[in-house]
Structure 1
Amino acid sequence: MSNSPIVELVSEWFIKPKLDDNDSKQPHYLSPGDLAMLSAHYIQKGLLYMKPSATDQHFSIADFLEKIRDSLTRTLAHFYLLTGQLSTLIDEDQHTSLIFIDCNKGPGARFIHATLDMTLQDILSPIDVPVIVKSLFDHHKAVNYDGHTRPLLSVQVTELVDGIFICCSLNHAVADGTAYWNFWNIWSEIHMQHSPISMSKLPVHERWFPEGYGPRVTLPFIHTDEFISRYEAPQLREKIFHFSSESISKLKMKANIEVGETNKEISSLQALSALVWRSITRARCLAGDQKTTCSLDANLRQRLNPQLPQGYFGNSIWVAKAAATADEVLDHSLGWTAELLQKSVLELTDKTVRSVFEAWMKSPFVYQIDAFFEPNSTVIGSSPRFDVYGNDFGIGKPVAVRSGYANKFPGKVTAYPGSEGGQSIDLEICLPPDAMNALEVDNDFISLAVMG
């Protein structure tokens, strides 16, 4: 409809703090985990806040923008990699590319002020996540390789009628979800002038490489069409499902009772992931002998020996993948499915992780979204352990988290801590319309979930 509200861009700034340390002037080479992400999309997450002007007559959006830009500038002095761009050195004789972060390149991180003539309820109340939410993010459909010419970080602050939406689009070849939310958390702390910031939280820019390799890891490609593709998602419905602390507790108890006495307790997320895998498999109406998979993002920082620091700023993730036929998933108990997922997570030991990356070094590849995930896969990304709702910028606690277009495909599930707190978990689920219609009336699933 021609009269539908649109996002109006009001102004933009580029932020590049002056840095004196020599480290920020050196090239920062990407690790195998970073390079593998070059064809994926930027990370796009945003937080929705209530506008203080409803209760605070002294609130000024101009003052707020000035303060949040100032705190972002001070934060980027620590996260200086985000103010540069990617660069590539090509060796045509060897047919290789060396891709790295050049902090001296580009205008810096982008900061955008925009407006949208919609209310909080216009965003939160529809059954599905409104399409307009994708327009609240910069870098729409950009892949990480585009960081050669685009900012590695764009922050967009969109003023609604009664709300403020703050979002960050961050290059996924530079950082993973753990590093992404650590950036948000430190930015919030600096904005609120909490001091001193814990040294363990500050970013560690030194990249991890398998023993005997690095830091100059090359890719066996020189033309972008050899390793970069631009995935276009099919028609999807995107929906938020809320699971209360009580529902999560019941689910975890049920899974552990069905598993019986074991050395390792089924976790809340494993139990919930098992429910989601079973429910999506049922909603897809698969033939009994069709293979299905369920993958969980796993943070590798604590799985390596020695462990990586909490503030490791890069990609340190791998997927824990379980596979079974549709009949196996649906005929067995929730506990059986949860234990299958648990085993895949426990297999990600230091030895396994090192062997995975050593194999990658011998035969490097870049993930292609449409080729990497099987048609009947359920992929559960992000984590309910991330501190999403603690990001206070002086305007109160966020009321909701939403994401952009990035990295979505049939069966993609994003896990967040629940907006109600406690042990609650929120899931953003992306499915084709027919499968989502079936999921909405799946009794096992809906008896535990609240939609909206």
Structure 2
Amino acid sequence: MALSFPISVISSTMVRPEKVNKPGRAKIHLTPHDLELLYVFYPQRGLLFPKPDPDNHIIPRLKASLVTALKIYFPLAGRLVKVNNHQDKTLSLYIDCDGSGAKFVHAKAKSVAVNDVLQSYGSVPDFISQFFPANDVVSRDALVSEPLLAIQVTEMKDGVFISFGYNHLVADGSSFWSFFHTWSKICLNGSVSNIKPLVLKDWFLDTIDYPVHIPVSEMETQPHCENSTKERIFHFSVKKISDLKAKANYEIGTMFPKISSLQAVMAYLWLPIISHSGLNREEVTQCKLAADMRQRLNPSLKKECFGNVIDVLEALLLDHGLGWTALQISQTVRSKTDESYKTYANNWTRDVIIPKLGVRSRLADHSLIVASSPRFDVYDNDFGWGKPIAARAGPGNGIGGMLVVFPGVEEGSIDVHATLNSSLWSDVLSEPIDQMI
């Protein structure tokens, strides 16, 4: 269905939390694991909901509950601040929890129906990018004009799409979905009972001198490569996942730890994607995933700890079978420990290099980047008119190999929102999932 600019923006406002003056809320220093995400695009996710009753007056309700949610999750209403260190010609960054607020966009798409979003065979319509509020925004843009959080509510013909984009310096997916769930509970119940105060990572990496000093040269704008990309949703049923796990574990034998559902699915997708990439079969490529480090640290952080507490895993892969590929991913995940995490951070402060998009780095080309997690509680978010119908990711922003993982609507299933280079991987996007390998 071809639609030309179906979205009209009704308003764009700043929603601010109630002013609260509490000790320890003024400044949040950024760790090396935060700062290396300075050129990463804002993660954008969205949920499709059924159409509410007109008497719900959803926009005032959503804004009012957001005020309360931002009072609890106050870092999201802050701003990214730069300090020039003239003595050594460097600069430092921190989050100022000043309550400046989050951007709230109200839009309408009167000609767009739920079925236009939920297209057959997992197709993703071109207009979906207009349903997101932070396209082409990277973390460092918050130094100039961007808030740390942007939300868009798009009213459709027979549904509502609620999306968000947030700065990865201040939060990871686990923290953000916790905020989103709290926001939905407040909107549903009209109260904040039984909601615990925010737990921050205040002892975090205490062997490092804060603030971290960054060479000015590392803040120079770097162009990133623009790719023509296409998107598709791959749905993995419970049975399909079970079959993949069984096949992968059979191939590696009993000498190794069991392959998980996500590892089997990622290996399964990686094989046809890389075979259509045009790379030499013996050329080493990378599958990059984010690992939640909260429970891997010593002492561990509380599961509810708010912030960005992830590490980037890089599994080096060759064109082998499902079991071998899944095993490389599994072993890389298990290699991330308290020691490796802290050693990397300490080394980084001595030789600060911030990865840039489009150049050879931890964000290099010829990599498959896996974002989000099937463990995030996506479908238990009810603002007062029903739970979500589907989840979608925002535009890939020119990254030619991005897989955003969601839990499926069916418990135990997995959905993968794939953004792939259209010129190289168009065959993968058009193949039925059972025929991919």
Q: TM-score, normalised by structure 2?
A: 0.92
Residue in 1 that maps onto 2:159: 163
- Does 2:428 match 1:432? no
- Does 2:396 match 1:401? no
Question: Judging changes above 3 Å, is the alpha-carbon distance between structure 1 residues 3 and 392 closer, same or farther for their aligned structure 2 residues?
Answer: closer
**Corresponding residue SS for 1:192:** helix
- Does 2:134 match 1:144? no
In 2, the alpha carbon distance for the partners of 1:2 and 1:338 equals: 39
In 2, the alpha carbon distance for the partners of 1:405 and 1:2 equals: 18
Instruction: Return the match for 2:108 from 101, 108, 115.
Output: 115
**Structure 1 counterpart of 2:194, which letter?**
I
Q: Could you tell me whether the CA contact under 8 Å between 1:413 and 1:429 is conserved in 2?
A: yes
Question: 1:341-378: per-residue Cα shift (whole Å, max 9, x none)?
Answer: 11111110111111111111211222212223333222
In 1, the alpha carbon distance for the partners of 2:203 and 2:286 equals: 29
Residue in 2 that maps onto 1:417: 407
Residue in 2 that maps onto 1:386: 376
Q: Could you tell me whether the CA contact under 8 Å between 2:296 and 2:338 is conserved in 1?
A: yes
Deviation at 1:448, TM superposition (A): 7.9
**Structure 2 counterpart of 1:368, which letter?**
K
In 2, the alpha carbon distance for the partners of 1:384 and 1:2 equals: 31
- Does 2:241 match 1:251? no
Deviation at 1:24, TM superposition (A): 6.2
Question: Judging changes above 3 Å, is the alpha-carbon distance between structure 1 residues 184 and 74 closer, same or farther for their aligned structure 2 residues?
Answer: same
**Corresponding residue SS for 1:369:** coil
- Does 2:174 match 1:178? yes
Question: Judging changes above 3 Å, is the alpha-carbon distance between structure 1 residues 448 and 187 closer, same or farther for their aligned structure 2 residues?
Answer: farther
Instruction: Return the match for 1:299 from 292, 297, 301.
Output: 292
Q: Could you tell me whether the CA contact under 8 Å between 1:29 and 1:207 is conserved in 2?
A: no
Residue in 1 that maps onto 2:66: 72
In 2, the alpha carbon distance for the partners of 1:77 and 1:335 equals: 47
Q: Could you tell me whether the CA contact under 8 Å between 2:232 and 2:419 is conserved in 1?
A: yes
* Residue identity (%): 33
Residue in 1 that maps onto 2:86: 92
Deviation at 1:45, TM superposition (A): 0.8
Question: Judging changes above 3 Å, is the alpha-carbon distance between structure 1 residues 408 and 382 closer, same or farther for their aligned structure 2 residues?
Answer: farther
Question: 1:133-190: per-residue Cα shift (whole Å, max 9, x none)?
Answer: 1112222211111212221111111111111011111111111111111111111222
Question: Judging changes above 3 Å, is the alpha-carbon distance between structure 1 residues 231 and 105 closer, same or farther for their aligned structure 2 residues?
Answer: farther
Question: Judging changes above 3 Å, is the alpha-carbon distance between structure 1 residues 24 and 213 closer, same or farther for their aligned structure 2 residues?
Answer: closer
**Corresponding residue SS for 2:385:** coil
Deviation at 1:415, TM superposition (A): 0.8
**Corresponding residue SS for 1:77:** helix
- Does 2:120 match 1:130? no
**Corresponding residue SS for 1:183:** helix
Q: Could you tell me whether the CA contact under 8 Å between 2:17 and 2:99 is conserved in 1?
A: no
Instruction: Return the match for 1:376 from 362, 366, 370.
Output: 366
Choose 166-175 or 127-136, whichever is displaced more: 127-136
Instruction: Return the match for 2:343 from 339, 355, 359.
Output: 355
Question: Judging changes above 3 Å, is the alpha-carbon distance between structure 1 residues 147 and 12 closer, same or farther for their aligned structure 2 residues?
Answer: same
Q: Could you tell me whether the CA contact under 8 Å between 1:209 and 1:215 is conserved in 2?
A: no
Deviation at 1:229, TM superposition (A): 3.0
Question: 1:379-401: per-residue Cα shift (whole Å, max 9, x none)?
Answer: 21110000111111112111111
In 2, the alpha carbon distance for the partners of 1:50 and 1:285 equals: 42
- The alignment yields a C-alpha RMSD, in angstroms, of 2.4
Q: Could you tell me whether the CA contact under 8 Å between 1:40 and 1:172 is conserved in 2?
A: yes
Residue in 1 that maps onto 2:35: 35
**Structure 2 counterpart of 1:429, which letter?**
A
Q: Could you tell me whether the CA contact under 8 Å between 2:428 and 2:436 is conserved in 1?
A: no
Question: Judging changes above 3 Å, is the alpha-carbon distance between structure 1 residues 230 and 208 closer, same or farther for their aligned structure 2 residues?
Answer: farther
In 1, the alpha carbon distance for the partners of 2:287 and 2:201 equals: 32
Q: Could you tell me whether the CA contact under 8 Å between 1:24 and 1:103 is conserved in 2?
A: no
- What is the aligned residue count? 431
Question: 1:233-276: per-residue Cα shift (whole Å, max 9, x none)?
Answer: 31001111100011001111111111111352111111111111
In 2, the alpha carbon distance for the partners of 1:12 and 1:286 equals: 45
Deviation at 1:8, TM superposition (A): 1.0
**Structure 1 counterpart of 2:434, which letter?**
I
Question: Judging changes above 3 Å, is the alpha-carbon distance between structure 1 residues 112 and 374 closer, same or farther for their aligned structure 2 residues?
Answer: closer
In 1, the alpha carbon distance for the partners of 2:310 and 2:401 equals: 19
In 1, the alpha carbon distance for the partners of 2:218 and 2:286 equals: 32
Deviation at 1:105, TM superposition (A): 6.8
Choose 27-36 or 284-293, whichever is displaced more: 284-293
**Corresponding residue SS for 2:281:** coil
- Does 2:22 match 1:22? yes
Q: Could you tell me whether the CA contact under 8 Å between 1:207 and 1:314 is conserved in 2?
A: no
Q: Could you tell me whether the CA contact under 8 Å between 1:52 and 1:395 is conserved in 2?
A: yes
Q: Could you tell me whether the CA contact under 8 Å between 2:114 and 2:158 is conserved in 1?
A: yes
Question: Judging changes above 3 Å, is the alpha-carbon distance between structure 1 residues 174 and 229 closer, same or farther for their aligned structure 2 residues?
Answer: farther
Deviation at 1:207, TM superposition (A): 4.4
In 2, the alpha carbon distance for the partners of 1:86 and 1:218 equals: 15
Instruction: Return the match for 2:327 from 317, 320, 339.
Output: 339
Q: Could you tell me whether the CA contact under 8 Å between 1:152 and 1:170 is conserved in 2?
A: yes
In 2, the alpha carbon distance for the partners of 1:97 and 1:150 equals: 19
In 2, the alpha carbon distance for the partners of 1:171 and 1:161 equals: 31
The within-5 A match list for 1:220-231 is: 220-221=215-216, 224-225=219-220, 228-231=221-224
- Does 2:212 match 1:235? no
In 1, the alpha carbon distance for the partners of 2:234 and 2:218 equals: 42
**Structure 2 counterpart of 1:68, which letter?**
L
In 2, the alpha carbon distance for the partners of 1:439 and 1:10 equals: 38
